[in-house]
Every structure is written in C-alpha cells, then in structure tokens.
Amino acid sequence: MSVLPILDVGLAFLVVGLAAWTVAARNLFASVVGYVAYGLLLALVWIRLYAPDVALTEAAVGGGVTGVLLITAGKRLGALEKDEAGATPALALKIVAGALALFVAGALAWVVVTLPDPAPTLAPAAAAAADGPGAGLGNPITAVLISYRSFDTMLEKVVLILAVIGVWSVGADSAWGAAPAPLGRPQPAGAMVLLAQILAPIGALIGVHIFWVGADAPGGAFQGGALLAAMWMAAMMARLTEPPRIDARWLRLALVAGPAVFLVIGFAGLGLAGDFFAFPPAFAKPLILFIETFMVLSIAVALPLLVAGPPNGRSAR
C-alpha cells in the first residue's frame, strides 16, 4: 500500500491549499465556495485518521449544513460587497498579523510533532469499561458521549437551543412567532424538486439507519440527526414544505425533547443507580437508545432552524 502516503500528502496539500484560498480569495463568494469545498475534503482527512464517526459528522454538519448556511449568506451579502467597509488593512498590520500567525503555527507544529511517546491514552480504560457501566455499546465513542461525558453532551444540546433562540432574537419584534423566510426561491427548478422528492425519503431512511447502528458501529445521534436535518432542508429548498412557525408548540417541544429527556433520566439515575446520570446496568442500552432517539429529534429540528434564520415579517398572519 505504498500509494497511500502519496495520497495523504496530496490530500494534506489540497486541504491546506483550499484553506489558503479561503483566506486569500478577493471575492467574498469565492471565499465561501472555497470553504465549503474545504469542509467536504476535511471529511476524507478524518477517515485517514481512523475517525469515521468524526468524518460522518464533519461531512454532514461541517460540510453539508454549514455549506448551505454560508452559501446563502454569501449570496445575500454579495450585493453589499461594494461598501464592504473598513479600509483595507495597512501593510504594517499585514506584516504583524503574518508574523503572529507564523509564530503561532510554528509553535503549534513543533509541539504537535514532539508530542510525548508513547502517547497517553484513555483507550484501554474506555475499552475495559465497555463491559461495565458503559454498558454493552460496541461503539466506544457513543459510550463516551452518552455515558462517560454525558454532562458535556447534554449541555451541548442546551448550547444548540440557545443558538436557536439567539438566531430568532435578532428578528423584528413584529415578526415574533411567525415562520422564518422560505429557504428556496419562489419557483424552484424542476430538477431541485425532483431531487428533493427522491433524495429526502431515502436520506431520511439512511439518517435513521446511521443513528440506529451508532450504538455498535460508526454513527450515532449527531450524525443521524444531522442527516435528517439536511433532508428536511432539501425539502424546504424545493418548497415541498415550509419552515414552521417558531411559536408552534410541537416545534418548541421537539427542540427541548433531547436535553429534557436526558435531564429527566439523568435525575432518575440518582434513584435507580445511585448517581446523577448513572444508568442501571440492566437497562443501560435501552435507556441510552431512548435518550438518543430524542436527541436525534432535537438535532434534526435545531439545525434547519439555525439555517432558516429569524422569524420573518412577511409570513406573519
């Protein structure tokens, strides 16, 4: 397998080159497109680092959903670019910034290359604990996310919810409660509609599949939820469906369902297993899947809402 190193080097150059393009491009939109391509390539890097779970997340969230978000923004701001404002930075500032960036990158590269050998790791502990309270999960990452670092995962869902409220809060007062502006153009192209009609159901199925196998194989709530989110977005872009009103009860409940269920079961752990966020060994796996189901729901709802933006006055009634 002697071609792999060459491919690795090529991939690294491509990724770094696209990053440089993103920074250096003169045109705002070109820079955005460069970044989106970069995000997709990054997924390949993660595969090469033996991180299929991260690769899935990066492809779905970092590449896909972020791509839609940034390209939409880039398109809307493109019209403004003339008075983009702020003088172009002076040469002195460029030199200082360049020197600083070079210094930080150099120091980081040095430190990363000289990381201690053998590397400290929690992999044996995680593997050993898979039989214990981690509880019958073949995918150690899911075990870490839902069991050992449950607190991170639960609070990170709260972060997502705060971001949704933050996005809503920049809207106009008069629009509060209404739906965000439609994602697609008024008359979407036939190809787009066809694509959404074919892709959305299959993609949704795959999303559920990725979530379901996530207990034992690469995949999980994040990745599955992100894929479902992407499919909902595709349907909205083809105008097969419209963004929901932000005061809809079902929407609010779906948003909080993930962290709320996690929280309730976490509390119940005190009675059932003696500690907050502890799972009784006999029910650990079903409980974890139960929590994850609601997490998938919350993620699938939150991501498209973040892309759709604040409520829009035009659709208020």
Partner 1 sequence: MTPPVLAGLAGAALVGFGLYGLILHPHPLRKLLAFNLIGSGVFLVFGIVARRGAAAGLPFDPVPQAMVITGIVVAFAASALAVALILRLAAVSGKVTLDPEAWAKTPSTRPDGGGGQ
Partner 2 sequence: MTPLIATTAGGPLLVLAILLPAAGVLLSLALGGRAAEKVALGLTPLGFALAWLIAMQVAAAGAPLVYAIGGLPPPLGIALRADGISAVMLLVTAIIVAAAGFYARAKFATPDGTAESRSALTFWIMLQAIWAALNLIFVGGDLFNLYVALELLTFAAVPLVCIDGRPETLAAALRYLLFALFGSICYLLGVALLYGAYGTLDISLLSQRVQPEAIVWTAAALMTAGLLAKTALFPLHLWLPPAHANAPAAASAVLSGLVVKGSFFLALRLWFYVLPALPSAAPGAVLGALGSAAAVVGSVLALRQARLKLLVAYSTVAQIGYLFLVFPLGLGAHAWSALGWGGGLMQILAHAFAKAAMFFSAGLLAEALGHDQIAGLRGAARALPLTFLTLGLGGLSLMGLPPSGGFEAKWLMLRTSAASGQWIWSLPILAGGLLAAGYVYRILAPALAEGEIELRARPQRARELIALALAMTALVLGFAPQGFFDFIEIGRPLAAMSAP
Partner 3 sequence: MSALFDLFSFAAIGAGVFFFFAGTVGLIRFPDSLTRLHALSKADNLGLGLIVLGLLPRADSALAAFKLVLIWALVLASGASTAQLIGRALRRGQK
Q: Which of residues 185-204 bind partner 1 (CB under 8 A)?
A: none
Q: How far is the CB of 176 from partner 2 (least distance, A)?
A: 4
Of residues 121 and 274, the one with the C-beta less far from partner 1: 121
What's the residue count for the chain? 317
**Residues between 165 and 204 with contacts to partner 3, criterion CB under 8 A:** 189, 191-192, 194-195, 198-199, 202
177 touches which of partner 2, partner 3, partner 1, none (CB within 5 to 8 A by kind)?
Answer: partner 2
198 touches which of partner 1, partner 3, partner 2, none (CB within 5 to 8 A by kind)?
Answer: partner 3
Candidates 85-93, 187-195, 202-210, 235-243 — which segment interacts with partner 1 by CB under 8 A? 85-93
C-alpha to C-alpha distance for 224 and 205, rounded to whole angstroms: 9
Residue 305 near residue 167 (C-beta atoms within 8 A): yes
Q: How far is the CB of 54 from partner 2 (least distance, A)?
A: 14
Of residues 17 and 201, the one with the C-beta less far from partner 1: 17
3-class SS of residue 86: coil
| Interface characters, 157-186, with partner 2 (x: CB under 8 A) | -xx-xxx-xx-xxxxxx--xx---------
| Interface characters, 57-96, with partner 2 (x: CB under 8 A) | ----------------------------------------
Q: Determine, following the binding rule CB under 8 A, whether residue 107 of this chain makes contact with partner 2.
A: yes
* Contacts with 295 (C-beta within 8 Å, 6 or more apart), sequence order: 153, 157, 221, 222, 225, 258, 261, 262
**Residue 179, class by beta-carbon neighbours within 10 Å (0-12 exposed, 13-18 middle, 19+ buried)?**
buried
Q: Determine, following the binding rule CB under 8 A, whether residue 248 of this chain makes contact with partner 1.
A: no
Residue 57 near residue 226 (C-beta atoms within 8 A): yes
C-alpha to C-alpha distance for 286 and 272, rounded to whole angstroms: 14
C-alpha to C-alpha distance for 25 and 38, rounded to whole angstroms: 14
